[in-house]
């Protein structure tokens, strides 16, 4: 069931999203060679709490898992796609690409966003993967107009990344968000234009392309959470929470200084 939000509810999600965006922007300074993903997670959690929000993933049990997620963030490096677990043993190295995915609960309003950061100098082809994935997010958002369909968003993302020879990761989707962290509808990262749910005013969506340089297939690692590419190729991930307004999409998690 899709939950359409009132303007008051969208304002709550906007406040939530602004906290999250600020954290993701400020986190850039910490994503350096030598820091552990454990430390990044702690900085992010502390920042959210200081800004009056709560980390929404911590203690949340997503539909795909039997267990509650134990951390504020998911941190996924290189061939890892999503749901990577922060660890004291995982130290960032030059050339890594690091997706930090986080949810915020502000007074019961949920936002969800992710950024893939680059550590120092990154290989040219990997840099292009990151740039194309980010651009794909905006291509998808640009289709989030009332009267369009979810498949229009999916197709915009999928066709764009495939035109570079990259693969949208299979089986991982965006989703509705707002009163909960995961709501209907699913927002796939590839699809057929003109198909799927009608996009309506008051929809709030987490759009999140996950893109592999190689195989579109994902496998779950033995920790039960981390999704990685099957063939070990690098993957990137960017996510915004958006609201569909009468005159089009509004980004509720404005983490992007360049947008």
Q: Which position's Cβ is nearest ligand MF3?
A: 69
Q: How many CA atoms lie within 13 A of 163 on its CB side?
A: 10
Dihedrals phi, psi of 128, to nearest 5 degrees:
-65, -40
Token pair in block for residue 158? 């999928």
Of 9 and 101, nearer to ligand MF3 (C-beta) is 101
Of 122 and 196, nearer to Co ion (C-beta) is 196
Q: Is 70 helix (H, G, I), strand (E, B) or coil?
A: coil
Select from 101, 152, 183, 190 the one that contacts ligand MF3 (CB under 6 A): 101
Taking the complex as a whole, the smallest distance from the CB of residue 252 to Co ion amounts, in Å, to: 13
- Applying the rule CB under 6 A, the residues between 200 and 219 that interact with ligand MF3 are 206
What does 117 interact with, of ligand MF3, Co ion, none (CB < 5 to 8 A by kind)? none
Of 122 and 229, nearer to ligand MF3 (C-beta) is 229
**Please, where are the H alpha helices in 4-123?**
7-27, 37-50
What does 227 interact with, of Co ion, ligand MF3, none (CB < 5 to 8 A by kind)? none
Of 13 and 206, nearer to Co ion (C-beta) is 206
- Sign of the four-CA dihedral 29, 80, 251, 64: negative
Of 239 and 250, nearer to ligand MF3 (C-beta) is 239
Question: First CA to last CA across the chain, in angstroms?
Answer: 32
30 binds ligand MF3, rule: CB under 6 A = no
112 binds Co ion, rule: CB under 5 A = yes
Contact between 200 and 4 under an 8 Å Cβ cutoff? The reply is yes
Taking the complex as a whole, the smallest distance from the CB of residue 178 to ligand MF3 amounts, in Å, to: 13
96 binds ligand MF3, rule: CB under 6 A = no
Taking the complex as a whole, the smallest distance from the CB of residue 224 to ligand MF3 amounts, in Å, to: 11
Of 79 and 208, nearer to ligand MF3 (C-beta) is 208
Taking the complex as a whole, the smallest distance from the CB of residue 2 to ligand MF3 amounts, in Å, to: 16
Which residues, in sequence order, are CB contacts of 177 under 8 Å at separation 6+? 13, 110, 111, 112, 183, 204, 205, 206, 241
Contact between 215 and 20 under an 8 Å Cβ cutoff? The reply is no
112 binds ligand MF3, rule: CB under 6 A = yes
Contact between 219 and 228 under an 8 Å Cβ cutoff? The reply is yes
Contact between 14 and 67 under an 8 Å Cβ cutoff? The reply is no
**Cα separations in angstroms, 161 against 19, 55, 164, 169, 211:** 29, 31, 6, 11, 7
- Applying the rule CB under 6 A, the residues between 33 and 92 that interact with ligand MF3 are 57, 60, 62, 69, 74, 82-83
Q: Using CB under 6 A as the criterion, which residues of the chain lie in contact with ligand MF3 when the complex forms?
A: 57, 60, 62, 69, 74, 82-83, 101, 112, 175, 206
Q: Using CB under 5 A as the criterion, which residues of the chain lie in contact with Co ion when the complex forms?
A: 112, 206
């Amino acid at each position: 069931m899709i939950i359409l939000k009132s303007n008051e509810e969208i304002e709550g999600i906007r406040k939530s999203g602004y906290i999250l965006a600020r954290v993701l922007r400020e986190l850039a300074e910490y994503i350096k060679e030598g820091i552990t993903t454990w430390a990044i997670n702690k900085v992010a959690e502390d920042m959210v709490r200081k800004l009056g929000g709560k980390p929404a993933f911590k203690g949340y049990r997503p539909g795909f898992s039997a267990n509650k997620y134990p951390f504020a963030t998911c941190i996924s490096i290189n061939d890892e796609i999503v749901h990577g677990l922060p660890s004291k043993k995982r130290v960032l190295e030059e050339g890594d690409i690091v997706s930090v995915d986080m949810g915020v609960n502000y007074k019961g309003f949920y936002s969800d966003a992710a950024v893939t950061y680059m550590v120092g100098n990154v290989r040219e082809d990997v840099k292009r993967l990151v740039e194309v994935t980010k651009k794909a997010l905006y291509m998808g958002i640009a289709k989030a107009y009332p009267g369009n369909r979810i498949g229009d968003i999916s197709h915009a993302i999928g066709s764009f990344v495939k035109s570079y020879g990259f693969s949208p990761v299979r089986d991982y989707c965006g989703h509705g968000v707002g009163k909960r962290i995961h709501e209907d509808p699913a927002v796939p990262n590839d699809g057929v234009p003109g198909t799927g749910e009608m996009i309506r005013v008051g929809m709030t969506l987490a759009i999140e392309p996950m893109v592999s340089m190689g195989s579109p297939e994902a496998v779950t690692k033995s920790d039960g959470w981390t999704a990685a590419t099957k063939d070990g190729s690098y993957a990137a991930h960017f996510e915004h929470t958006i609201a569909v307004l009468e005159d089009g999409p509004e980004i509720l998690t404005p983490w992007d200084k360049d947008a």
